[in-house]
């Protein structure tokens, strides 16, 4: 209140106070006392307007204070992580930095979980629920093209090639945001009911085969064995959502993701005499085209959407030699388990019989154990916590997004306990989210307003749940 309103109330209070002394001695204390009390009351009301506004919209004053106090620090952390990205199962520096910052807060983090995962428990000073908050830490084999002053110049080895490494999906923002939430919760832990598990997870993007990693390995190594939360919360910055907005929906949110590989085996021969061999390249081309009918003609898309995508094809090394074999890899995205299994069966059938029609053989592998189930938000929990998100950005800035064909291994935590996962807008106002560079793009550009919104949202959700706004969902 340092603008005109503050100067005006200060002047008014001071004038009444000065007049009060003089008139009091002149023998008219009652009138002066009333005037002075009114002036002081007006000053108090004006000073309280920001707090009243937050009380009206539901945002907790401690959330507002923490966000203001930590904003610069969270931005600094995010930029540091952004400049030093690391691939899945290689997050050594990131893990060490997270653990160091948690120790500086007075916590005792456990490290080395699922290779480079970090977990810490905040013990509240009062009895209450147990919740878990999750952030992912890994980056992608993408060469950054944003031109930021803190642009990543990192490189690494990926599938035998030297590649650029970039936080093209925003996990740097997730890690920095959760560190900010942790510091805010630690500062108030004396009055905090319950306990909060902080999960800093490696390898959300998927461990390089044949390694294990991510949420699956954290759970396999006993993440929830001794600390079983009532609820787990997570967020993701999202390019298709405008900065300042939050998108969330109860029930299915993101698709199940499964990886497949197909090897088409032919017989090598000279390119000038294809009749002397079996051409796996032609068989592969036919197979890719025929496989498109699995979704377009065999899957009941009126039930749920589905996607089958080939991501890479490798075969041959010389222009005039027909190779022995061609290898393909790809992904399947589904929401319905019945459709998922049917697509698996159809893909094997198409691969086998299309290859056979060319005199070749196809071997299909679907890596179900490495896949992620659909991310499904617990409907009751999401409904309970929706007002918490609305309190942070306003009711008009929280909306229900369409189903997302992208996948998230947060889904594995949400299969163990009720979960809620939400999107925080990362595309600046003035840029159309529909055309902005998407997550995983070398030009993915995060509006750092997302850090402030993410911090406020995750902190508000946590405090509201711990203080009783949320109840365990079935």
**Residues assigned a catalytic role:** 138, 204
* Residue carrying structure tokens 């589905």: 306
Return the SS3 of 122. Answer: strand
Cα 438 from chain centre:
14
d(CA 305, CA 334): 7
Beta bridge partners of 29: none
Cα 191 from chain centre:
28
Q: How many residues does the chain have?
A: 474
Q: Which residues, 6 or more positions from 275, have their beta carbon under 8 angstroms from its beta carbon?
A: none
Q: Which of 139, 173, 175 is nearest to 158 (CA)?
A: 139
Sort strands 398-399 and 246-247 into parallel, antiparallel or unpaired.
parallel
Tokens of 406: 């992208």
Return the SS3 of 150. Answer: coil
Helix (H) or strand (E) holding 420: strand 419-427
Burial class (CB in 10 A: 0-12, 13-18, 19+), 51: exposed
Round to the nearest angstrom and report the end-to-end CA distance of the chain: 47
């Amino acid at each position: 209140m340092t603008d005109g309103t503050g100067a005006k109330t200060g002047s008014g209070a001071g004038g009444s106070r000065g007049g009060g002394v003089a008139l009091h001695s002149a023998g008219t204390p009652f009138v002066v006392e009333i005037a002075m009390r009114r002036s002081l009351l007006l000053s108090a009301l004006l000073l309280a307007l920001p707090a009243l506004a937050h009380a009206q919209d539901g945002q907790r004053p401690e959330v507002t204070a923490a966000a203001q106090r930590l904003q610069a620090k969270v931005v600094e952390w995010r930029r540091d992580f952004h400049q030093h990205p690391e691939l899945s199962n290689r997050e050594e520096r990131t893990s060490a930095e997270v653990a160091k910052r948690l120790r500086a807060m007075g916590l005792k983090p456990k490290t080395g979980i699922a290779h480079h995962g970090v977990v810490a428990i905040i013990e509240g000073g009062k009895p209450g629920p147990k919740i878990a908050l999750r952030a992912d830490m890994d980056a992608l084999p993408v060469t950054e093209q944003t031109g930021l002053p803190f642009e990543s110049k990192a490189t690494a080895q990926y599938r035998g090639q030297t590649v650029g490494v970039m936080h093209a999906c925003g996990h740097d923002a997730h890690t920095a945001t959760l560190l900010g939430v942790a510091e805010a919760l630690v500062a108030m832990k004396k009055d905090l009911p319950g306990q909060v598990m902080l999960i800093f997870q490696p390898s959300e993007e998927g461990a390089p085969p044949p390694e294990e990693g991510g949420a699956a390995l954290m759970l396999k190594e006993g993440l929830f064995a001794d600390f079983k939360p009532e609820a787990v919360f997570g967020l993701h910055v999202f390019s298709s959502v405008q900065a300042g907005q939050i998108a969330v929906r109860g029930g299915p949110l993101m698709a199940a993701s499964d990886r497949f590989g197909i090897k088409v085996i032919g017989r090598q021969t000279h390119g000038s005499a294809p009749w002397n061999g079996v051409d796996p390249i032609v068989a592969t081309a036919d197979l890719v085209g025929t496989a498109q009918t699995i979704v377009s003609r065999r899957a009941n898309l009126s039930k749920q959407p589905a996607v089958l995508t080939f991501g890479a094809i490798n075969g041959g090394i010389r222009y005039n030699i027909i190779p022995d074999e061609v290898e393909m890899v790809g992904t399947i995205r589904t929401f319905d388990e019945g459709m998922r299994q049917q697509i698996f069966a159809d893909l094997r059938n198409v691969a086998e019989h299309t290859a056979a029609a060319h005199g070749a053989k196809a071997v299909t592998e679907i890596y179900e154990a490495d896949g992620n189930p659909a991310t499904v938000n617990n409907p009751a929990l999401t409904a309970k916590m929706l007002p918490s998100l609305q309190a942070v950005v306003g009711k008009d800035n929280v909306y229900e997004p369409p189903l997302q064909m992208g996948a998230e291994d947060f889904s594995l935590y949400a299969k163990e306990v009720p979960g809620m996962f939400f999107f925080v807008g990362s595309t600046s106002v003035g840029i159309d989210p529909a055309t902005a560079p998407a997550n995983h793009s070398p030009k993915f550009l995060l509006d750092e307003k997302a850090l402030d919104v993410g911090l406020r949202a995750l902190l508000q959700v946590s405090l509201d749940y711990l203080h009783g706004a949320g109840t365990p969902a079935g």
